[in-house]
Structure 1
Amino acid sequence: MQRVILATTSALALMAGNIGSAQDALTNYSLFGTPGLLEMPTAQSAPEGTLAGSLAYQDGLFRATATFQLTPRLSASARYSIVDLYDSPTTEIDEGAFERSFDLQYRLNNEGTYLPAFAIGIRDAFTPGRFASEYIVASKSIGDNLIVTGGIGWGAMGLRDGFDNPFSDLGDRPVFDDAESEGQLGSDLWFRGDAAAFGGLSYQINDKWGLVAEYSSIDYPVATGRPALEADSPYNFGVTYRPRPGTQLSLASLYGSEIALSGTFTLNANDRPAMSGLEKAPAPVNARSAAQLREDTWDRDTAPPAGLRAAMEALLDIEGLTLRGLDVTDSTARIRYSNSRYRSHAQAMGRVARMMTQVMPPSVETFILEPEARGIPLSSVTIRRSDLERLENRPGAAEQLLNSVEIEDAAMRGPIQNRIAVEERFRWGLGPYLTIDPFSSDGSIAVDAGLSLSASYTITPRTVLSGVITQSVLPADKDDPSPDTDDIPNVRTDGGAYGDDGVPVLQRLTLASYGRPATDLYSRVTVGYLERMYGGVSTELLWKPVDSRLGLGAELNYAVQRDSDMAFGFDEFDYDVVTGHVSAYYDLGNGYHTQLDVGRYLAGDWGATLSIDREYENGVRVGAYVTQTEISYDDFGDGSFNKGVQISIPQDFITGQPNRGSYGTTIRTRVGDGGARLNVGGRLYGFVRDAHQGDLTDTWGRFWR
């Protein structure tokens, strides 16, 4: 043990005498999917906004990890593991136990000329935490290629050659209890018990190849509930290969007897993997001549309003936009349109405004643009035509134009003639689907794939009938519905019993109507088979001024549990409930958005859900949520309460082509009956906010694209 401490101290002393910067070097990812050596952490941080997905395998252990660099110094990780466990202090082993964990690391300082970077971290922060560890670690660059790391760990990192806790006032560490309720914050463990030293080196040979060596302080003693791994030696060695930027492949020799493989794939939300601007260039601004600028009216016989409308409709169709209404006077043109192509409403506005300069008579100086969604106008943006002509192709044009436009509520301007083209009333699509639920209601991994048939019929611009039918090609043996407990009905834990007959099922069939009751107000009423488990009625009212960071909403639902065959019946469970929430939404700025929902959930429990999201200018969104209700930890079961991490990546971020679609996933604890909500489509705030001042301002740089 003295040799280990001496080696670590010598390494730290060596760090202090050399110039370098570990935080600027290539970030090495460990087998835990976090910045680190092989098993041990480092004080490195990836660039802010980096999202890393990692897969690692060794005999008896598989890990899948998502790590996000929330700020330049703070990172968070969510991990799924499949691990063999000792089920008794003998050699009996349970294979394939499913684990979930959550990590946090904060880098305390930037590396200096002589001072290493220090970081403090928690691995597997929730109980029971089979790999639960806390650590303080330092890393220092030596030259451009070598990084030396040393640290002290507790918990699983304090099992090999441990010594007395330097923070002795914190007391002993509680004994690991496999039966402890899963998912509660393990703060009673943090930095308690014996500690141990660890350290290592990483050397980057060139841009592609690197070497890693470490002394690991993790041990795996034979004990009930412990991972069935044997660490005969503390020394681990590995080689890393980066075939392309954003990809790290690793091969490691562990404990002197095991081989491990891992792959880590990263993207940065501040960058774009595909080239931007792959969409077709917009039409140029058609500048008026000096003589045309003096005109104060236009000849309706030469340019009839119907002709202007037809021309605008054709030009917008080229851009993937749909004309919904057009009013033209001698000096003003007011246009309403829907945008189904561009993620940024500002970019769509730029395209519409350019087209208007091509079509509108010269006397029209004022353009009023009104984007709409689901038949309701979202905002009204007034632009002077002369500003478009003056600023096109000038440096700083986007900022100058933004300072001159007026953004208001479209409802203040009253109705505008709307119509729906006959060919747009009915739409349908057929395609494959794949769902992977690592935390299904019974705690297992649920995989489903098949075909999905969707269709919609637009009755009026604000009223839509839509539905989805799916046919699974991976029928699975699912548990029958279980009886309700005395304290909480099975509002979600019976989800695995739904749609297991091998026949097509009705996922959803709804009639939805949207409205604008008054200025700053938006409404929704949805009736039918709302989701796979429930039908009924869902109503919503949202107050959201176009220029305000704050939004307030209320939702009230009456839900009836559907039959498990997912046909048209409601008789099997005889369960109905009135559920609803009041919600507050706030834009904190810099891409941060918060939402607080307070109310009654599907099981009749009362509580609240807090969500916070970080949305980048490229549309990448990473967020977390937590729900706590009056249901006790014991009644809820594994997970203790609902919590999770949500990741959404827009399609145009990957392809570079304009598209409003996105790829998303939720990494959560096991589905439980407490804190469960209806999965109703078309909730208001998401699409209303997109065209309001905050989001328009954030993406206004795309106006000229």
Structure 2
Amino acid sequence: MKLVFAARRAHILLAGLLGVSWAACADPAQTHAISQTERLSAWFERHPSLQRPGDTASWAWHAASERGGQAVLQRELAEALGASHSALAGFVRSLPVTGRVALPLVDGRWLQTNPAADPILREGDTLVRHARTGDVAVLLPTGHVCRVSHQPSATWLAYVRACDPSVAPSLSWLIQPDGQVVTADALDRHAAQPVLAPGGWLWAPPPDGAIPPAVSSRLAQFLATQGPADPAYPWTLRDRRIAAEPGLPDAPLPTSVNDWGTVGLLQTPTARMEPAGTAGLMFGRVLPYAHLKARLQPFDWLSVSFGYVSASDRLYGAEDLSGDRSYVDKSADVKLRLWREAAWRPQVAVGLRDLIGTGLFASEYVVANKAFGNLDLSLGMAWGYLGSRGQFRNPLGLVSSKFDERPAIRSESGGTLNSKSYFRGRTALFGGVQYQLPSHPSWLLKLEYDGNDYRSPTDRGNIQAASPWNVGVVYRARSWLDLTVGFERGNQIMFGFSLHERMNRLDMIKFLDPPRVPVRPVGVASGQAHSVSDTVAELERQAGAAVKRVHADDVRWTLVLDGADRGAQRPLVDKVVAVAHRDAPATVQTIGVALEERGVPVAEVAVDRAQWARERTEFLRPSERQTDRVTRPVAAGDAARQPGNLYDRDAAGLGQRGRAGLGLSYAQSLGGPDGLLFSLGAVAQGEYRLRDDLWATGVLQLRLLDNYDKFDYTAPSNLPRVRTFIREYQTDRRVTVPVAQVTHFGEAGQNHFYLAYGGLLESMYAGAGAEYLYRPLGSRWAVGVDVNRVQQREFSQGLGLRDYKVTTGHTTLYWDTGFEDVLLRLSAGRYLAGDVGMTVDASRVFANGVRFGAYATKTDVSAAQFGEGSFDKGIYVSIPFDVMLPRTGGGTATVTYAPLIRDGGARLNRRFTLYDLTRSRDVRAASTPDSTLP
């Protein structure tokens, strides 16, 4: 027996070196040939004794039709590895081409209830039942395989280090025994590292990049066709055991915010980041300061926080201006991760505190973090306020003596970049430790050394620091709520709380939506005839929009929908195609969904009916998977717009002209000497269609609750008061008409759209305007122009007008960059105060439609003319209602933080824009099937 195994192993080693296949030597035990066409569930039903409970992972489907494609993959993969990785290439060539197709779950009864996961077996296919194994196979860059005894809950890092303790990989590919492939990233500290099942493969290439990730991904794809590792592979290490891991912990690393609203300890920041898509709000109090800060994490490597610092030891200004109100300083902080933590390398970040503002608390820092199990250590160097202890000379002074002195910041109005003081002056060290209690993971203990001695002019000599050491504890009461208590400066109690949520993961089960129409296989009759009226009624229920026409011929049905908001999160097309597939004759091969907005054709999605139905009623082989749809413009001569429609809403006189609704409104002003001012109101809004492309809109608002009667301070302005009459517009009348306008939307040719409007356009302005937009279907860019002639409205927001008139308008470039889902808008033109300049708006758009953005406007108005703030800027979060409600619908809620409302850089708030009306042309909506979207 030993002699046979030794001979077989020598043959495999030789085959690996020469690239010769050893498939003929593999044990074909437990192989069942398929002799007739049938579902996999039906095959198990005919062989009940072959499937036992808990045995689902041992079965594999080998499809004869897939062997050719896998042979090509094997050859291309070996060529890509090339001579520099000849041993690994030889190992790849030695593996058999199996034709295996990974399945979600191999369980006969489950497959019967999930036909989309139930493949159709054909003659020539085989079903293979693999023997159980208690090992994990780690493929090494040398082309050898290291077998490690499986341990429950062990991370992939443990298996790699069991084979080679010196390896510090980053990316890895885990191939489970059922053929599913998972990519793991050792540098991702926000999620637990995945685990492997017994019999799985693991490929962890060297982190030097010698083997590109694309090649590693294809290698994992080919390993997934193999099943559990064969004991006859050329093992170099046998019966390895997992040792204690010295590097990254298995569990996600917890993060919490400091007193300043950024991820850190107490007073000091750390290099840690929250996951991309996180938004938060915190309040912290340690005398004499109170912090109210919001934060956004648009990217894994960038964090932004903004808000207010209230100082109770000083007044906002002169007593006749502020009364007894405390001073409030507006600030924005940013932190940028330079590189991520690896097994033996710390994570490093650089940050700027109060980078745009008065500079009272301005500071810059570089900080590093390294975790050891539940212990997370940080060490950093700070300039400015955070480093006012000034223990060391500035190391940048070795580059230039200019860095040795930190100039005083003279920006009483704030809002300017304090770039001349960045990273200048003496420095101080700071750092600390965070410890997560193993037995109570909701508790975090913090200890830090503060680099601030509280003797700077900012603190006015009113703060006595008895100790540089701060200690605190954080309790995570909920996944979204942290409570913090600390003892700082050796003499002050600190308390605070933080709210946080992964906005990019917001979703809501649509349990109030009508049930989807079941999809039947191609060629299977529905068993029930449906009239045209039944079909149209069900289409409108599923789409939540009006069906204008249904055009039918022998081979194609086209459904024309008006007002169907096809945002990225809405599976609109799949819903309506299911209805058409149910009711259309068997001869119909294509189902088109033409999307109109306000009567104007925007785009059409053409769906291959047979392919679409197969994808939803059987598990397709990879060679049979292809796109089932194409998005294209709707041309004026399309059949859907010609006579002979199966259904025509306008001809039947069934069009709905009017609609109305109730809602709430909220406005606020924060940051002036009057403190927080807010207004909560009830809103009634209605719309009446004069024609499909011409409609009237009206909004009636009732102030319910507000404190604008405390608005005593009217900020000075050197410009026409186009926005600073806030108090007057908020308090003059309790019942107002913010909007009453007529709008026309039209198409000026393929890819060209226009909009014309007039009336009471917003709460402060009335007038007329027009917009033009060029937007190719599925393109990443568009360009538009708007021109408006407006006049300021009376404070009562009735029909009266004030004397001020202005012509305003902009040329705007929209660019979906393709980098981290960033949408960039560049606008140049004339603003409401007559100033001329440019606005830059950049936003991250997540898959569920949530958007994090920031904008800044600079015009020919100087900082002195503009006043406090120096230039217009703001940060906003936009959330689709669809992710928050149990019923599919359109609409978006936008929350904007603008430190101050000034007159410079002010734009007209238009209710309708062409970019929003043509959202179905977005590159995401045009290229991504609905079924793949969340």
TM-score by length of 1: 0.87
Equivalent residues of 1:343, 1:658 under 8 A apart: no
Which whole-Å deviations, capped at 9, do the CAs of 1:328-368 have from their partners, x for residues lacking one? 22222121113557643761111011111122233222211
Match of 1:457 among 688, 691, 708: 688
TM-superposed deviation, 1:321: 3.0
Secondary structure class of the residue paired with 1:392: helix
Distance 2:624 2:261 in 1: 44
Structure 2 unmatched runs, 5+: 1-244, 643-647
What CA distance in whole angstroms lies between the structure 1 residues aligned with 2:324 and 2:621? Answer: 65
Q: Distance in 1 between matches of 2:742 and 2:713?
A: 29
Equivalent residues in 2 for 1:502-581 (5 A)?
A: 502-570=733-801, 572=802, 574-581=803-810
Cα shift at 1:405: 2.2
2:635 maps to which residue? 411
1:353 aligns with 2:577: yes
Match of 1:49 in 2: 277
SS state at 2:578 partner? helix
- Pick the aligned partner of 1:662 from 867, 892, 895: 892
> Taking CA–CA contacts closer than 8 Å with sequence separation of 6 or more, which of the two structures ends up with the larger relative contact order?
1
Q: Does 2:713 align with 1:489?
A: no
Counterpart contact for 2:510–2:888, Cα < 8 Å: no
Helix, strand or coil: the match of 2:817?
Answer: strand
Question: What amino acid sits opposite 1:238 in the alignment?
Answer: G
Shift, 1:150, TM fit: 1.6
The answer as to 2:732 corresponding to 1:501 is: yes
Contact 2:315 2:326 in 1 (8 A): no
C-alpha RMSD of the superposition? 3.3
8 Å Cα contact 1:538-1:556 kept in structure 2 = yes
Three-state SS of the structure 2 residue aligned to 1:497 is helix
C-alpha separation in 2, matches of 1:275 and 1:642: 39
Distance 2:388 2:251 in 1: 29
Distance (whole Å) between structure 2 residues aligned to residue 399 and residue 330 of structure 1? 29
- Partner SS state of residue 695, structure 1: helix
Distance 1:127 1:227 in 2: 22
Equivalent residue number for residue 627 of structure 1: 857
User: Residue 652 of structure 1: CA displacement?
Assistant: 3.3
Q: Which residue of 2 aligns with 1:174?
A: 407
1:23-47: CA deviation from partner (whole Å, max 9, x where unpaired): 9511121121211000101111222
2:869 counterpart (636, 639, 648): 639
Give the one of 588, 607, 625 matched to 1:383. Answer: 607
How far 1:673 sits from its partner (Å)? 1.2
Closer/same/farther in 2, CA of residues 393 and 360 from structure 1, 3 Å limit: closer
**CA deviation after TM superposition for structure 1 residue 110, in Å:** 2.2
After TM superposition, the structure 1 stretch with the greater mean CA deviation from structure 2, 677-686 or 119-128, is 119-128
Q: Alpha-carbon deviation of 1:538?
A: 1.9
* 2:454 paired residue among 206, 220, 226: 220
Counterpart in the other structure of 2:498: 264
Answer yes or no: is the 8 Å Cα contact 2:535–2:580 preserved in 1. no
Match of 2:307?
Answer: 79
Instruction: Please list every run of 5 or more consecutive structure 1 residues that lacks an aligned counterpart in the other structure.
Output: 1-16, 293-301
Q: Which moved more, 1:235-244 or 1:360-369?
A: 360-369
Aligned equivalents of 2:346, 2:478: Cα separation in 1? 29
1:64 to 284, 292, 295: 292
- Asked whether the equivalents of residues 52 and 264 of structure 1 are also in contact (C-alpha less than 8 Å), the reply is yes
What CA deviation, in whole Å up to 9, does each residue of 1:518-567 have, x standing for no partner? 11111111110000100000211111111321211110100100011111
Matched, 1:234 2:462: no
1:35 aligns with 2:263: yes
- Structure 2 residue 812 is matched with structure 1 residue 588: no
3-state secondary structure, aligned to 1:496: helix
Amino acid in structure 1 at the alignment position of 2:381: I
Distance 1:271 1:204, change over 3 A: same
Describe the SS at the equivalent of 1:221. coil
Residues 1:484 and 1:231: Cα distance change in structure 2 (over 3 Å): closer
In the alignment, which residue of structure 2 is the partner of 1:210?
444
- Structure-2 change in CA distance of 1:125 and 1:290 (3 Å): closer
Q: Which residue of 2 aligns with 1:3?
A: none
User: Does the CA-based 8 Å contact 1:342-1:348 persist in structure 2?
Assistant: yes
- Go from structure 1 to structure 2 and tell me whether the alpha carbon gap of 1:444 and 1:539 turns closer, same or farther (over 3 Å shift): farther
Q: Which amino acid aligns with 2:810?
A: H
Distance in 2, Cα, partners of 1:499 & 1:273: 35
Bigger share in helix: 2
CA displacement, residues 472-501 of structure 1 (integer Å, 9 cap, x when unaligned):
13252276997996x621111123311413
Tell me if structure 2 keeps the 8 A contact 1:480–1:497. Answer: no
**What amino acid is the match of 1:490?**
R
SS in 1 for 2:299: coil
CA distance in 2, matches of 1:241, 1:161: 33
Compare 494-503 and 539-548 and name the one that shifted more: 494-503
Q: In structure 2, what residue type is equivalent to 1:597?
A: S
Residue 211 of structure 1, CA deviation: 0.8
Alpha carbons 1:499, 1:566 under 8 Å: kept? no
Partner Cα separation in structure 2 for residue 483 and residue 624 of structure 1: 24
| SS of corresponding position for 1:388 | helix
SS at match of 1:686: helix
Partner of residue 289, structure 1: 523
> How far apart in 1 are the matches of 2:904 and 2:624?
51
- For residues 737 and 332 of structure 2, the distance between their equivalents in structure 1, rounded to whole angstroms, comes to 36
Q: Percent identity?
A: 29
In structure 2, the partner of 1:651 is: 881
* Pick aligned residue for 1:326 from 539, 550, 566: 550
* Structure-2 residue corresponding to 1:249: 483
Quote the Cα distance in structure 1 between the aligned partners of 2:290 and 2:619: 52
Q: Distance in 1 between matches of 2:349 and 2:846?
A: 26
8 A contact 2:780–2:922 mirrored in 1: no
Match of 1:155 among 370, 379, 384: 384
TM-score scaled by structure 2?
Answer: 0.66
Equivalent-residue separation in structure 2 for 1:692 and 1:104 (angstroms): 30
Structure 2: how far apart are the matches of 1:615 and 1:400?
A: 33
Map of 1:427 onto structure 2: 659
Contact 2:369–2:377 (CA under 8 A) maintained in structure 1 = yes
Q: CA deviation at 1:694?
A: 3.1
Moved more, 244-253 or 195-204: 244-253
Q: What is the CA–CA distance in structure 2 between the aligned matches of 1:577 and 1:584, rounded to whole Å?
A: 23
Q: Once structures 1 and 2 are overlaid, which stretch shifts more, 97-106 or 282-291?
A: 282-291
Q: Name the counterpart of 2:16.
A: none
Alignment-mate amino acid for residue 453 of structure 1: A
CA contact (8 A) 1:379 1:692 kept: no
| Alpha carbons 2:273, 2:300 under 8 Å: kept | yes
After superposition, the Cα gap between the structure-2 partners of 1:212 and 1:387, relative to the gap in structure 1 and judged at 3 Å, is same
Aligned equivalents of 2:316, 2:895: Cα separation in 1: 36
User: Counterpart amino acid of 1:255?
Assistant: R
Displacement after TM superposition at 1:161 (Å): 5.2
Distance 1:399 1:655, change over 3 A: farther
Separation of aligned partners in 2, 1:482 and 1:400: 69
Relative to structure 1, the CA distance from residue 345 to residue 222 in structure 2 (aligned partners, 3 Å threshold; closer, same or farther) is closer
User: Partner of 1:137 in structure 2?
Assistant: 367
Bigger radius of gyration among the two: 2
Name 1:197's counterpart in structure 2.
429
Q: Distance in 1 between matches of 2:923 and 2:485?
A: 50
Q: Secondary structure of 1:635's match?
A: helix
Counterpart-to-counterpart distance in 2, 1:114 and 1:389: 51
1:85, 1:95 within 8 Å by CA — same for their partners in 2? no
Aligned residue number for residue 469 of structure 1: 700
Report if aligned partners of 1:652, 1:659 keep a CA contact under 8 Å in 2: yes
CA distance in 1, matches of 2:250, 2:614: 48
Task: Give the corresponding residue for 1:298.
Answer: none
Return the offset for 1:412. Answer: 4.1
Query: What amino acid does structure 1 have at the position aligned with 2:665?
Result: Y
Change (3 A) 1:243 1:88: closer
CA contact (8 A) 1:533 1:566 kept: yes
1:115 lines up with 2:349 in the alignment? no
Q: Find the aligned partners of 1:513 and 1:359 in 2 and give their Cα distance.
A: 36
Would you say 1:610 and 2:834 are equivalent positions?
Answer: no
